[in-house]
Chains A and B, each alone.
Chain A
């Protein structure tokens, strides 16, 4: 699978959001065919389309004091928190080259995270009806995506650093009473995010199942 990887490092949510949209346009014009954006964010709370504002537990002054941004975005799902202790991946994939199936793509993202955790000897699991990846009923990775014209954006976050988990108390993640965990918590040792990025990237290989993209190109007469 042809996929260009962009590593944005630690970046403000808004700038990465703009970058995602630019990448989306590039993938839509088929150059590159697929893209994977990796990054970490300064502390931010994002609200998906399924949001219930009651799930933001902190008041506005607390967020201002802690310099935590707040954005309403076009992804699915409720409220979530992102911070520098998470590794974030935004796959901008053209599902025209795969089966056009939203649930299959969500399960594919979960599988990538489960395989990533397996590299560290951790058994991640799915919980029926609760998209995301869990370890012993604690959540380690969250997923929320948007699809336009069968091209995906937004994506997933994996909790790596233990120190970042505290800020989840500012919200009710996904509108549920969830206990979050992190790779560091589970392994009981320090993990540098830069050291685990390649593990995650390597899990995004996927065999293309149809040639609809090139068929569309032929139809346009190119």
Chain B
């Protein structure tokens, strides 16, 4: 099981808003695929998928604000 965590984004940025999930819960994902797009101030950015597996749970929907360090989703490894 791998947690997808919102990393440090830059000085003074404490949170970001989920703007787009590239996959739905239950779908297969591959390492390095774009997983989720987030928005902060005047920038959008992506989080790539940390490992291949199944996107088992999404904790924040599009439009939700997420704090740095919070878990966005869980990926179950295929192994």
A interface with B by C-beta (< 8 Å): 48-50, 74-77, 100-106, 131-132, 143-149
Q: Which of A74, A103, A143, A144 has the most CB of B within 10 A?
A: A103
Number of interface residues of B (CB under 8 A): 18
Q: Which residues of B contact A74 (CB under 8 A)?
A: 37, 44
Docked-complex contact A103 and B39, CB < 8 angstroms = no
Known contacts A146-B45, A148-B45; A49 and B12 CB within 8 A of each other: no
Contact status A76-B39, CB under 8 Å: yes
Question: B40 within 8 Å of A by Cβ?
Answer: yes
With A148-B34, A149-B48 known to touch, is A106 a contact of B9 (CB < 8 Å)? no
How far is it, in angstroms, between the C-alpha of A144 and the C-alpha of B41 when the chains are bound?
A: 9
Given contacts A103-B13, A131-B42, 9 further A-B contacts (CB under 8 A): A48-B44, A76-B40, A100-B10, A101-B9, A101-B11, A103-B10, A103-B12, A145-B44, A147-B43
CA distance A38 to B20 in the complex (A): 29
B56 at interface, CB cutoff 8 A: no
Q: B41 contacts which chain A residues (CB < 8 A)?
A: 76, 102-103, 106, 131
User: A104 is contacted by which of B10, B34, B40, B44 (Cβ under 8 Å)?
Assistant: B10
List the B residue with the shortest CB-CB distance to A150.
B45
Given A49-B19, A149-B48: A101 in contact with B10 (beta carbons within 8 A): yes
